[in-house]
Amino acid sequence: MQQSGRSQLGKNFVEDDEYNLLMTSMRVSVSKHLLDDHFTVVWANDFYYDLIGYPKEEYEAVFHNQCDLFFRSNTNDWEGIVAAAMGALKAGEPRYEHITRMRHKDGHMMWVRLVGTYTEDVVDGYHIAYTVMSDVSDIIRMQKEQTVTYNSIPGFIAKFRIRESRIELVDANERFLCFFGHREQNTLTNLSTPENEAVLRECYPAMRGGKPVRFTMEARDKEGNAVWLQLNGDCIDWIDGDPVYLIVYIDITDLTRQRELQKETNMQLERLAFTDPVTGGYNRTCFELKAGEGVRAAPAGTYALVWMDVQKFKLLNEMFGIEGGNQTLKYIHDVIRGCLEQGEYVSRTSADNYSLLLKASPKQEMEARLNSIAEKVNHFNKDAEEKYILSLTAGVYYVEDPKLPIMQIQDRANVARENIIRTADAKLCLCMFYSELDQLRLMQEKEIENRMRDALEKEQFVVYLQPKQSLRSQSIAGAEALVRWLDPERGLIPPKDFIPLFEKNMFIVKLDLYVFERVCALLRKWIDHGENPVPVSVNMSRAHLSDRDFLKRYEEIRKRYGVPADLLEIELTETLVFGNPDVLMQVIDAFHKCGYRCSMDDFGSGYSSLNVLKDIDIDSIKLDQAFFGSEKMDNPKERDVITSVIELAAKLNMTTVAEGVETDAQEDFLKGTTCDLLQGYIFSRPVPPEEFERMTFGRTLS
């Protein structure tokens, strides 16, 4: 994540009104830091800037949100902070605590206590931590003064005779008497509480034996306010076998309240860091900590990691809303948790996915147990008139190597789940177990990931063009840009071997833009050579939709090459259309405003409905090869369906492209319809740009 990512991280944090209200009501300094070399401040509340004395704008201007610059005048203290924070992180601790000196803006040195809690967030390879900072100057100063003047303190001192069954006040100074208000004091404080009595019972044997004691008790001042006192007692005499104690009372009310406040703040931070706000159970970070500890402490083969997914959960969200969806996620979590044994854990790790750490059992038993959980999840349907079945899929990985990182173990379980093929099986939970083939595929994917960035930088990805033939003029009327990986060692790698992985790891975003730029460069070359360029279509992955401003990058590239937008067509896959139609309509409108054409690719390959054509304002549809099931086109129903779709598209002013046409019979049939363009091996395979230029313009353009 670049600097903009850090800014967004801070922005998201600031927008959490509930958290800000909590921190503000506690009146404590809270800041969020990137644990890089500078401990960069990502966000801080107003009390942070109040404590250091610098207004936010001045702090950012002078120190650039870098804590090491703020501490440059007292480097020893800065080194102590770094050692405490990074040492605890390296040791795997969830938080760190440290007391240090800090220079206020007005120049005076103050003592502050830092309590940092690590989160699951990682930005640019650095961890994120919340830090609560409090001014403990008065407490440190008081402790130092008490150390120096302990034996000469003039007040709040009393003598007690520790009898066998009671405590008797012998003498006290004026401050003691003023505080407690009377001399008939036969207890150590003026308040009887279970906590005070418990402390006294614990210390009484030591006091009867004349041993030094130190403990804390609660009292009330004259106004009835609660006060916490630290009692330090030493035996100074004996009367008839009873020890006489000189007890010095130190008022630690402020310190105790600060500790309570700190404790409450830490609890709130811990809930934020380790609790899933939807289910109230463990979040992914907490699960990975607990599951990792459990796996490492047990022999190999003790546990199995299950990655479970709720099928078609987006439909449930659409039917019942986000709140109803969240209630369902919590319900599923609670049912699963109720099925666990000692030492087993569950967490909603993301969206509608759950991670379960279960005791290992044979595959048949494991599958039966997971289906039993699924049946309990669906128990609410028992007496319902209209049933809504919650179907689950589960990938299972048996942990044979406890040293593996828990995230890698989860990945392997998820890989197994992704290999599930939906069938007519009536089971509520379909299971798949991780195999050596999965491991081999993971290794291959990892190898590709290791090389993909270098390959893009070295322009090993090449653009091929597959011509689109006009069925009227029999000439080339367009092309689709397709990417190939020309690896110097492995040769030409087909898209099926890397595109699915790039979709998953989001590298497809960079590759799409790379292809788009190559296409713009080709169009610019054709224009500069005086040719009449044909439109070229480029594929756009749904991964772009996660960035609201993605169109700006397309426009920056197009404008850089000065290419008319109507020469570029954006191909949107059918799955992208049905994933989020509302968002997609906004995207299509944005493309149209910039002058681009948009087409629906793979129409008819899976979920297509003719009804969607009235809602999505696309310019053309590409009939998927699935329409052409018979090579000789001798199926009357098949011909009628194709003809109807083409005619409907024409009525909606949409261009039709028949994709994947491979036989003469298919081509002849299409010529008898109103289909506009043909794309397939019957006319041409995807070819390098130079060959495409010879086919289209009769020459290769330098």
Number of residues written out for the chain: 702
| Count of other CB atoms within 10 angstroms of residue 556 | 11
Inform me whether the pLDDT recorded for 469 exceeds 90. Answer: yes
CA atoms within 13 A on the CB side of 438: 19
- Residue 494: the pLDDT is 86
The CB density around residue 695, as the number of other CB atoms within 10 Å, is: 16
H or E element, residue 523: helix 508-528
Q: Look at residue 533 in the predicted model and tell me its pLDDT.
A: 96
Which residues, other chains included, contact 574 with Cβ-Cβ below 8 Å and sequence gap of 6+?
A: 600, 601, 602, 603, 604, 605, 606, 607, 608, 624
Q: Which two tokens stand for residue 457?
A: 């930088």
**Which residues, other chains included, contact 46 with Cβ-Cβ below 8 Å and sequence gap of 6+?**
24, 56
CA dist., res. 254 & res. 195, Å (int): 19
3-state secondary structure of 395: strand
- The listed range with the strongest mean pLDDT (158-162, 182-186, 529-533, 604-608) is 529-533
Q: What are φ and ψ of residue 40, in 5° steps?
A: -55, 135
| Structural element, H or E, at residue 394 | strand 392-398
* Residue 481 backbone dihedrals phi, psi, to 5 degrees: -85, 125
pLDDT tens profile 550-584: 999 999 999 999 999 999 999 987 556 555 677 77
Residue 175, phi-psi category: left (phi > 0), alpha (psi -120 to 50), beta (remainder): alpha
The whole-angstrom separation of Cα 620 and Cα 666 is 20
Q: Find which of 2-11, 161-170, 310-319 is predicted with most confidence, using mean pLDDT.
A: 161-170
Burial of residue 468 (CB within 10 Å: 0-12, 13-18, 19+) is buried
Summarize the confidence of residues 143-171 as an average pLDDT: 71
Instruction: Give the number of other CB atoms < 10 A from CB of residue 376.
Output: 15
- Give the integer Cα–Cα distance in Å for 171 and 159: 5
Q: For residue range 487-531, list pLDDT tens digits in order.
A: 998 888 889 889 989 988 899 999 999 999 999 999 999 999 999
pLDDT in tens, 118-132: 998 888 889 999 999
Helix H or strand E segment including 478: strand 476-487
For the stretch 332-368, pLDDT in tens is 999 999 999 999 999 999 889 999 999 999 999 999 9
Residue 151 pLDDT level (bands cut at 50, 70, 90): very low
- What pLDDT was estimated at residue 426? 67
Hey, what long-range contacts does 359-367 have (CB within 8 A, 24 or more apart)?
A: 359/302, 359/303, 359/304, 360/301, 360/302, 360/303, 360/304, 360/398, 360/399, 361/304, 363/396, 363/433, 366/304, 366/396, 366/431, 367/429, 367/431
Each residue's pLDDT tens digit, 479-488: 999 999 999 9
Match 């607990």 to its residue by tokens. Answer: 290
Kindly state the helix (H) or strand (E) to which residue 655 belongs, with its residue range. Answer: strand 655-659
Pick the closest to residue 156 from 230, 285, 287, 249 (CA basis).
249
pLDDT tens sequence across 411-462: 999 989 988 876 656 689 999 999 877 777 778 888 899 999 999 999 999 9
DSSP designation for 130 = E
Local structure of 621: helix, strand or coil: strand
φ/ψ (deg, to 5) at 157: -130, 140
**pLDDT in the model for residue 143:** 65
What's the whole-number mean pLDDT along residues 679-701?
Answer: 93
State the average pLDDT over residues 645-656. 91
Residue 547 is encoded by which pair of tokens? 């960035």
pLDDT at 104 over 50: yes
Instruction: Look at residues 295, 289, 259 and name the one whose alpha carbon lies nearest to residue 274.
Output: 289
d(CA 257, CA 261): 6
| Eight-state DSSP code of residue 535 | P
Task: Report whether pLDDT(381) > 90.
Answer: no
Put the strands of the sheet holding 95-103 in their side by side order.
40-44, 29-34, 126-135, 109-123, 95-103
Q: Which DSSP state fits 39?
A: -
Q: What is the pLDDT of residue 144?
A: 65
> At residue 313, does pLDDT exceed 80?
yes
pLDDT band for position 148 (50/70/90)? Answer: very low
> d(Cα 659, Cα 622) in Å, to the nearest integer?
6
Sorted by where each starts, the structural domains of the chain and their CATH numbers stand as 3-135 (3.30.450.20), 142-255 (3.30.450.20), 282-434 (3.30.70.270), 457-697 (3.20.20.450)
Q: Mean pLDDT across the chain, nearest whole number?
A: 87
Kindly report the three-state secondary structure assignment for every residue of 579-595: HCHHHHHHHHHHHHHCC
CA 273 remoteness from chain centre: 12
pLDDT for 263 equals 76
Query: What's the token pair of residue 274?
Result: 């380790």
Largest CA distance in the chain: 124
Cα(459)–Cα(450) distance, rounded to whole angstroms? Answer: 16
pLDDT of residue 424: 55
Position 574 scores a pLDDT of: 59
Which pLDDT does position 509 carry in this prediction?
94
**How are the residues of the chain apportioned to helix, strand and coil, as percentages rounded to the nearest 5?**
45, 25, 30
pLDDT value, residue 11: 46
User: How does residue 193 score in pLDDT terms, banded at 50, 70 and 90?
Assistant: confident
Structure-block tokens of residue 260: 């309570």
* Model pLDDT, residue 668: 92
Rounded to whole angstroms, how far apart are CA atoms 121 and 34?
Answer: 9
pTM of the model: 0.50
User: Residue 328 in contact with residue 274, Cβ under 8 Å?
Assistant: no
The pLDDT tens digits of the residues spanning 583-623 come to 778 889 999 999 999 998 878 765 445 666 777 889 999 98
